Amino acid sequence: MGFIVIIPARLASTRLPNKPLADLGGKPMVVRVAERAGASGAARIIVATDHETIAAACREHGVEVCMTRADHPSGTDRIAEVARALNLAPDAVVVNLQGDEPLIDPALLAATAARVGVDVPMATCAHPLHDAADAFNPNVVKVVLDKAGRALYFSRATIPWHRDGFAQSRDALPAAYVALRHIGLYAYTNAFLQTYPTLEPAPLEAVEALEQLRVLWHGYPIAVHVTDSAPAAGVDTPEDLERVRQHYPA
């Protein structure tokens, strides 16, 4: 069964106003993101938005769009509304792709979606860290896995903690030590996507400021696809936008 990609897109952005409509080689960014998703083998790609300007830009370029309420607290809630409106089957797999990822690797979407199954209602991805500065950076979220490749814990702390190696030095990572950086790409069954917004926020989530800990705290497993290298960064700032424009010359 194929998977569906839903791309939540809002105009509001403090650092980069009108971000989804930023021009990348003659097309809005959100359209470029949809094009990347289209190369993943997804059965359907839909932009979820509460703004008619974004909807009009998508329609102009042949991208399916679904209007949503404006008061959603998160992109996950927004795509859950779309999945309900589409009357998707409970076991349908939905990938949540942010609208500011125009360089996303399409294969990463497919690989993450493939990890969702009957016993694992949610999946995400990660890549190995090679730089000690990243391992100790609280803005770089780490994840540790069990033998089946499911998340044991996500943290801003350095996990796992190499007791002996870090006692000697924190300037370089110990030999054979592997820390995994979490990549914020998610896939869910539709049944779990509808359940997630109803889950009570978790104490661990509040402490770490990491929403995915809510899922683990409530006892749901998260499968993690590990890719060899870091994906291209998304667009948060004007500097990011200029970097991405090098890949989409006018």
CATH of the domain at 69: 3.90.550.10
- β-partners of residue 59 are none
How much is the pLDDT for 1?
A: 58
Domain match, 13 and 95 both: yes
Across 5-20, average pLDDT: 85
- Model confidence at 13, pLDDT cuts 50, 70, 90, reads low
């009108």: which residue's tokens? Answer: 18
- β-partners of residue 6 are 46, 96
How much is the pLDDT for 89?
A: 95
How much is the pLDDT for 118?
A: 85
* Residue 49 tokens, joined: 């938005």
Domain match, 25 and 50 both: yes
pLDDT above 80 for 14: no
Cβ-in-10-Å burial (0-12, 13-18, 19+) of 105 comes to: middle
pLDDT above 90 for 17: no
110: three-class secondary structure by DSSP: helix
Across 105-131, average pLDDT: 96
Domain match, 127 and 218 both: yes
- Model confidence at 243, pLDDT cuts 50, 70, 90, reads very high
What is the dihedral angle through the alpha carbons of 15, 201, 7, 111, rounded to the nearest 10 degrees?
Answer: 120
Domain match, 214 and 238 both: no
Mode of pairing for the β-strands spanning 151-155 and 142-145: antiparallel
**218 near 158, Cβ under 8 Å?**
no
- Model confidence at 16, pLDDT cuts 50, 70, 90, reads confident
pLDDT above 80 for 15: no
- Model confidence at 156, pLDDT cuts 50, 70, 90, reads very high
The count of structural domains within the chain is 2
Domain match, 27 and 117 both: no
Q: How far is CA 174 from the centre of its chain?
A: 29
